[in-house]
Amino acid sequence: MLKKLKPKSEFSRNVLTLMTGTTIAQAIPIAISPIITRIYTPEDFGVFALYMSVASILSVVATGRYELAIMLPKKDEDAINIVALSIIISFLVSFIAFLVVFFFNDSITKLLGNPEISSWLYFIPLSVLFTGVYQSFNYWSNRKKKYKRLATSRVVKSGTTATSNLAFGLNGFGSGGLIGSSLLGQVVATFILGRIALKEDSLFFSVIKKSKIFDLAKEYIKFPTWNLFSSFISTFRENFLILIFAKYFELSFLGFYFFSKRLLMIPSGLLINAFADVFFQKISKVEEYVEIYEVAYAYFIKLFYLLTVPFIVFVLLLNTFVPIVFGDKWADLSIYLIIISFPIYFNMLLGHFSKILLTTNKQEISFYFHFVKLILLGVILLYIILIKLSFLEALVIISIFEICFILLGILLIQKILKVKKYSYLLYGIVLLLIMVEIGIYNYII
């Protein structure tokens, strides 16, 4: 019976392996969330959100985005030299980040508008370093189809972070407990994944050469240029919201927003990461544009059937279960979850499409796309601040903006691949989501 249930294709087995490990990893923080909300306050999560935003923005440049190029060379010898290049850059970037924090701590603290973040800024270079090293080993393991290794590292990271969260929180560490737990989980996971890779793939690491590293750095120069700028703008845009929210709204609002997005990104990350990683590995071997799009669209349909009914049920039951699960002081969390869930749901359906730009070496298009998106988001935030909208009204407007740009991104990919199929289904989903968001907006005001 068990053999019949086992997926037959290699692609399905790889997705299942990653999803199993990632499911366990993501289930751990979900399981302890009702405890976490009774230990930490929304204000604690507000400070943690600010720290993670700065760390996330800097982590984008940690490897110069060369880790993405690890999947592309035909020879493993080239790929392992790119791994070395990525790790070297991670150490360099983290050292520069430390110097900046050391000499300009006061200025950065004033810019962020939160005195509590000052002492924690010194830990950001460590977050940047271990994120870069982890991503380098992550993509190497993905290239070698070592999905059990990846699953193990994710479980270790999640388990370490969750255990530390409880321990630090029960001892009254507040926001520092959340920050320290996140960093500790990253450090342990990086050591585990790196140790396994160095042990099992030692023969590959023996062919690393300085001359080869320089040659490959030049060959894949688009990654630290176009792709880096694009990814930096994209990550800055996502975290720019938190930086602005921290400056113009109360920390408790930011805490609700960050915690709700964190909860939603757990299940969405489970699917997006598992499908996108294996999807990237699959299409990196495909040369025909039409075939790439057909594979991407096929998985969109599968995800649509898989996610739509659970998503509807989730939204309908939120108001009832949030106060029971998370406690009375987090009762307002339900409205944040509802508003943010719509663009996240749409991104879950289409997130894997973003890998197409990497495979087709169109990083410059991604850069322009995210740059335009950042400018428009800045205009929207300026409008929100000038007319003094409430925090929840601002979230509704930004959610509608996110939905529209996800659709625009897919249409742009269609144009690049010279494929125009299936657009009407996407239009219909977007229209429905926007109508619901507008209904929520009217309910709020």
Q: What's the CA gap between 304 and 8, in Å, rounded? A: 22
* Radius of gyration, CA atoms only, the chain: 22
Token pair listed for 198? 């160095």
Instruction: Determine the average pLDDT of the residues in 38-60.
Output: 91
Mean pLDDT of 78-106: 94
Give the whole-angstrom CA distance, residue 5 versus residue 123. 46
Distance of CA 198 to the CA centre of its chain: 26
In tens, the pLDDT along 17-29 reads 666 766 787 788 8
**Taking the CB of residue 375, how many other CB atoms lie within 10 A of it?**
12
| pLDDT tens digits, one per residue of 331-367 | 889 889 989 988 888 888 877 777 777 777 676 777 7
Tell me the residue type at 108. I
Running DSSP on this structure, what letter comes out for residue 122? Answer: G
Q: Could you identify the residue written with the tokens 């870069």?
A: 132
Burial group, residue 416, by CB count within 10 angstroms (0-12, 13-18, 19+): middle
83/66 Cα distance (integer angstroms): 8
Per-chain mean pLDDT for the chain? 84
pTM for this one? 0.77
The residue whose two tokens read 């360099």 is 92
Burial 21-47 (b: 16+ CB within 10 A, else e): bbbebbbbbeebbebbbebbbbbbbbb
Q: Which residue has the tokens 């604690």?
A: 44
Q: What are phi and psi of 387, to 5 degrees?
A: -95, 5
